[in-house]
Each structure stands twice: as structure tokens, then as C-alpha cells.
Amino acid sequence: MKPIHWRRSRFGSYLRRLPRAKHLRGTWIHRLFGDRLFASELWQPSRRAFAVGLTAGAFFAMMPPLPVQMLLAALAAIFLRGNVPAALAGTWISNPFTAPFCIYFQYRIGCLLTGCEPLKWGSSDLLASLKAAPLPYLVGVLPAAAIVAAVTYPVSFVLWDWTTTRIEAARQRRLARNPSVVEK
């Protein structure tokens, strides 16, 4: 697809509405972060930047459900030179479907670290015990976030390699079917 044709694509109407660097220059966000905000590795995916961004997002996904998880992940990606969209996507590891498992994982790690007796999975008293004694849950948040981030970093490299291999194989098949078309 030629660069001009992205506007006619399915997502072009959404992409046209995103602010461009020329619109952000001189704003308060540019004054706050400087030219680091416009660094290409923050916005264009590369193997290392994708891994750092996804890891930052996964770390903040394990934090207690706050409305600022995505903002904190984006700030961490900016300061760590990771990919900001990958960091934002990484925060969705803990979504409404996976949140109960994440909370129970954090609770079990907290019980292990504090030495208290954990409740069994599926117990209706789990939420009541979190309200009554949140210490095991709160103690387990940071170690669980570190564990998930440590697992996410190498997995993101595998995911990147797998995806790029599949994209390249599809490109080779497309070129084999129609050799007269030269892609850039």
C-alpha cells in the first residue's frame, strides 16, 4: 500500500483524527517532555521498544485497578524508551475477564509472603476477606507485577519474532503469486 493510500483504508478515518507532531509542538505536553516525546522508537514499533513497552504495560496492569494505569504505563514507556502503544495495550492484560484471576494470584502471593492462611479459589468469602483484611492482597501486588513483567519481556520477543515471520511468509506468498508486483 502506498503511503498516501492509508487514508482510504478502513482505519484511515480514525488515523486522520490523531494529533500529529506538528500540532503538538509548543503545547504543554511538549514543554513537559521536550523533544523526547517525538522520538520515533516511542511510536514506531521495533523489537526492543515493543518488548519494553509491553513489559511496562504488563507491570502497571497488575497494580490495583486505578483509572490511571494506562497513563502510568505510557509515562514509563516514554522514560524507558519503549513503544507507547504497546504499553497501552499491555495494560489490558488485566481486563474485566482476567481481573479475578489476577486478584487471586496477587492474594496468594501476599498470603505466601505474610504467612497467613489463604482461602480456596471459588470461595464466596474471598471478596469479603479482601475487604476485611486487604494486607495479603496489597503485599502481593508489587511482587505479582514484577513476576508478570519478568515473564512478559521474553514472551514479547517471541511474539514479535512469530508475528514478523508470519508477515514475511505472507509477503513471500503474495510475491510468488504475482511476481510482476514489486512491494516496497
The DSSP line for 83-97 is -HHHHHHHGGGS-TT
Is residue 145 within 8 A of residue 59, CB to CB? The reply is yes
The secondary structure of residue 82, as a DSSP letter, is: -
Q: Which three cell numbers stand for residue 132?
A: 476485611
- The beta strand positions in 20-144, using DSSP E, are none
| Residue numbers of the chain with a pLDDT score lower than 50 | 1
In the prediction, which pLDDT does 182 show?
Answer: 60
In the prediction, which pLDDT does 58 show?
Answer: 94
In the prediction, which pLDDT does 72 show?
Answer: 92
SS3 5: helix
The secondary structure of residue 25, as a DSSP letter, is: T
In the prediction, which pLDDT does 142 show?
Answer: 92
d(CA 83, CA 137): 30
C-alpha distance from residue 126 to each of 50, 59, 62, 96 (Å): 36, 24, 18, 17
In the prediction, which pLDDT does 73 show?
Answer: 93
In the prediction, which pLDDT does 165 show?
Answer: 93
d(CA 43, CA 23): 16
